[in-house]
Structure 1
Amino acid sequence: MNQNQMTRRQMLQLSAGVGTASLLAACVAAPAAPAADGGGEAAPDMAMTELSLWSMSYPPHDNAWNMLADQYNEANDERNVTVEPKTDPWTTYASGLSAGTAGDLLSIHGAAAASFMATNTLLPLTETLGGMGTIKDRFFSAVMDYYTYQGDVYGIPLHNNTPGIGFITNLDLWQEAGMEPPPTYTHWNDVWQDAKSLTQADDDGIINVAGLSMRNYHNIQYLCGAIYEQGGTYLDEETGEWSVNTPEGIRALTELFHDPIFTHEVDSPDLPAVFNGLAEGRMAMGGIWIDYIPFAATAFPEGNFGFTMRPGIDGADPVVVGEGGWGLNVNAASENPEDALDFIDYLNDDGVMIQWLQSQHSLPCVFSLLDHEWYSSDEAKFLQPALATVQDWVWIGPVGTKYAMDDVFWPGLEELSLGAISVEDLAARLDEDLTQRVQSFREDTGYEW
């Protein structure tokens, strides 16, 4: 990977800062001021409208946005879309919106959309997408809920890429062990048995290859799902108060994050976290977002990765708490809003969406693509276990910028992995810190629920 290219985690972390929310709170979406009479040169007699599309600088996305923009431009003699990737997306978006220089179209992940919606910097897409009734019939609620605010929709999701679904597998390590990962696990006992068989240690008993690691920045999704699987809850949506310090929360923290290291001994905090551990061949399984596979194809082309669906607690069906998905939004201050909406309408087509999904090797956001033949192909069949569950995923709730929750959970998970904090103390601290983040977000942005 290019040393100057930020990792996905580093880029997404930038969305959680108070600075971004505060900067957005100062933004006011307004039409461009008209030119003064008699000033400047006369506008050229041209029918072509130029639209800029700002996106996160990330090779799989860069390639896909350029592909779709090129197709749109070739078929359109009135509009031209130019893709402009940004290395530091959320901060750049916020600065551009504040200065009035942001693109007409903005690719904002659902997990980061709340601050943009709450500060009126995005154009509603409800009517363009056919109205709320059509939207609910077409899109999965777990992805569209992240783009919905006070009765309107502000984004079109193109793919689901959440963590919390299952495990990315390093197939080379499985093959070396003479094993093959199952498409789906139904019981955690089977997970631990395989993980122990895959774990490697040196002559001093120091683990140098983890059988399974759950140490990843985004993994609060696994915690939330495991709480639901036990019949518990973790968030009071009205007050924004978190409740991890419950029997269900304690069990989820223990079994998913404490036990791999201290009970089953299939992971070590001395190893890299999942993102790098998988890439370096030091983990056979890792809990991480499912589109790690297309990312790795570009960043670590020598890698050989697969996916297996995780089990639920006590054999229950897994509850996947989605993180939202990548999609596209319209700058409310765009000088060409109708033209920008035309590109949104172009994206809202199964034939266009499947091209995006194929480029990302990812899961759909619409019911109509669940049975698409591509998911039966050799390159996509690894997605089938997750595909069978995707329409039942749920969103995390009205927490504001979801990445702010990751910024709280990840340091606590690192401390737990080192034995520096007990499960009980971590649960209590999470309740306090997560609640503070949600309530501060609501105060800073005016987000109402």
Structure 2
Amino acid sequence: MGEMMNRKMMRLRSAIVGTALLAGVIAPIATAAPASAATSLVSIGDSSAVEGNVGKGRSISFPITLDAPTTVNVTVDWMVQLGTASATDVKDFGGGFKTATIRAGKVEAFVNVTIYADAVVESDETFQIHILGATNASPDDHMADGTLIDDDSESTSTPILGAGGGSVHEGNLGTRQGKIWVTLSAPPLTQVSVVATLTGAGVGTYYKAFAKTLIFRPGQYKKAVVLTIYPNISNGGDQVITLALSGATSGVNVMTPSVENTIVDEESSSLITSIDDPRLTPEQVLRAQALIDATTSALAQYSSFVGQTALRAALIAHGYTTVGDSGTGFEHFINNTFINDGIEVDATKVESIVLQRQPDNSWVLGSGMYILNNGKTMANVPEIAGTFTTWHDHQNLCWSGNLIVGLLVNGVCTSGVFRATAPMLHVWITPQVCGPFTGIEGFGGSCVH
């Protein structure tokens, strides 16, 4: 569990936009600077190919995939490591490495390895592709197996069908997609179809099950099975799903009738809710404390106002308007000028201020809340203190102007219109069980980060 938390902290840490500690406060973030650090995990899938009988030029393609697109190019360094296959079977670049590029906004590229044909009856041969490192993404799966399928015996005279295993991260914001690659060992001369069925525990909660027919046209040798992964902020553990292949036509042999894939749970029961947590780095502690201090100082101008009426009047006088959610016990006020000014995480321009109802029904100033510019997503949040600073957003609100008038019901607003929010971060000046940055509401909120 500690490893999972560390990996998640590293992912959030790498999503830096430009937050800096300057003279004891958090400096405003220049929104023109794009995210240039890792916001996705990169992995590589297994592959196989029939070796052929004459010459070279045939290749094996290994899919390199991201679990989410990035705003910058991702480069991946890789190398071939020989196994039972030798340098006369596969081009290994003399032990050197190559670089693959996944373009900004894309989630996939292919590593192509040249193989050499022969007419020798022999066993299948194997080698590995190793990911040595990546820029703008974090390696999640460092190795893939490549198989050279001998086609010099009668038993392997027809294409062979297989699928790759792997993993996809569930996320806690919106539905996301993963891919399982189903490949033929050689391009078919005639159409090939096969039924792909996805099963496992947690169907409907963690992913969408299906049974579908994949069709390979003549010349096609790989097809992607697209997984629909549902967001989940509960600490439910990893979920194992199985893709089964059956009913292949045109005499195709199925090498891997089923493969297991893992939906990786990103939550952890060991959460960071205190600035004294030893897992925070000294730099994270400084940034978090600076943001708390700067926000508390900025909100001090409202400390003399007592009660909901007085606080509301003071906020309105400073350009804030209510979103009309006081019935929840938290009334959010937003300043549209600050939201659209291109400045982020600036204590002199807090985009939202939240009033909080107390057990005795009185109202106090609860928190300042920083909101990123419109169009930003959870992949763009600044690094401040890892999972201690809980960014969250709302993907279920129905709006009428600046007022929240309802929630989505079966994906539809019965009143108002749906409008997604940009990521936001509370800084509470009232005590909170889950710490001063707890989201409380929204995806990524509550004590479950």
**Fold-level match, TM-score > 0.5?**
no
Relative contact order (alpha carbons < 8 A, sep ≥ 6): 1 or 2 greater? 1
Larger strand proportion, structure 1 or 2? 2
If you compute each CA radius of gyration, which structure gives the higher value, 1 or 2? 2
User: Could you tell me the TM-score, scaled by structure 2's length?
Assistant: 0.27
User: Could you tell me the TM-score, scaled by structure 1's length?
Assistant: 0.27
